[in-house]
Amino acid sequence: MTRAIHLRKSAIYLALAGALALVPPAARAQSAVDAFVAKVSDGIAGVHAQAGDDAAKTLAGCGDFLGRVLNLPAMAKTAARDGWEQMSAEQRDAYEKAFAGRLAAECARELAKYRGEPVTLAGVRSMANGDKLATVRLGAPESARMIAWQLRGAGDALSAVDVIFEGRSAMIKAYDDFVGVLRANRGNIDAVIESLRK
């Protein structure tokens, strides 16, 4: 009896594996992008619904939301580039937290203008490094704001490693700010971290 149950379970698992294998890779990739866009749409709507016009709640909501859709450790390391290797473990942790806080503050500023408009996928393209660039439309087509998310990952586990809002890359800005503050403060990493907290 037990053997029969085991054989039936094995047959079911094999059938499921076979069905998944029949799904074209392009369809699986598009499904993962659609799932990410749904997460973005639900996240933005959730921040708006829970925070209303409360700035502190919007900031906290943005922090939680970005923590779910961004690969913050990878982004912080990329923004610091060579400076990352100069940091102690404590400085890296402080920099990553301050970096996440800066992104949350920028998110909160943008969502202060949000009034519940729909978030829809405008298009997806593949990048030379294999990442996907998914552009979402915030609002009606005639007055929409466009936000592109650079997606990286395997299977369904996609997360963003850059956000391009109205043509401005968050990562390029973060790197430029890092270099500028570091030079102005003669290589003082702590000064860079403190600048992100302001």
Give whichever of 17-31, 98-112, 150-164 has the largest mean pLDDT: 98-112
H or E element that contains 148: strand 145-154
- In tens, the pLDDT along 126-138 reads 999 999 999 999 8
Give whichever of 10-14, 77-81, 165-169 has the largest mean pLDDT: 77-81
Nearest-angstrom CA–CA distance, 189 and 51: 34
- In tens, the pLDDT along 34-82 reads 999 999 999 999 999 999 889 999 999 999 999 999 999 999 999 999 8
Nearest-angstrom CA–CA distance, 51 and 111: 10
Q: Is the dihedral of CA 60, 44, 27, 13 positive or negative?
A: positive
Residue 107 to residues 23, 73, 103, 129, 132: CA-CA distances in angstroms? 36, 18, 6, 27, 21
> What is the pLDDT at residue 192?
97
Nearest-angstrom CA–CA distance, 171 and 79: 6
Mean residue pLDDT of the chain comes to 86
Nearest-angstrom CA–CA distance, 72 and 14: 37
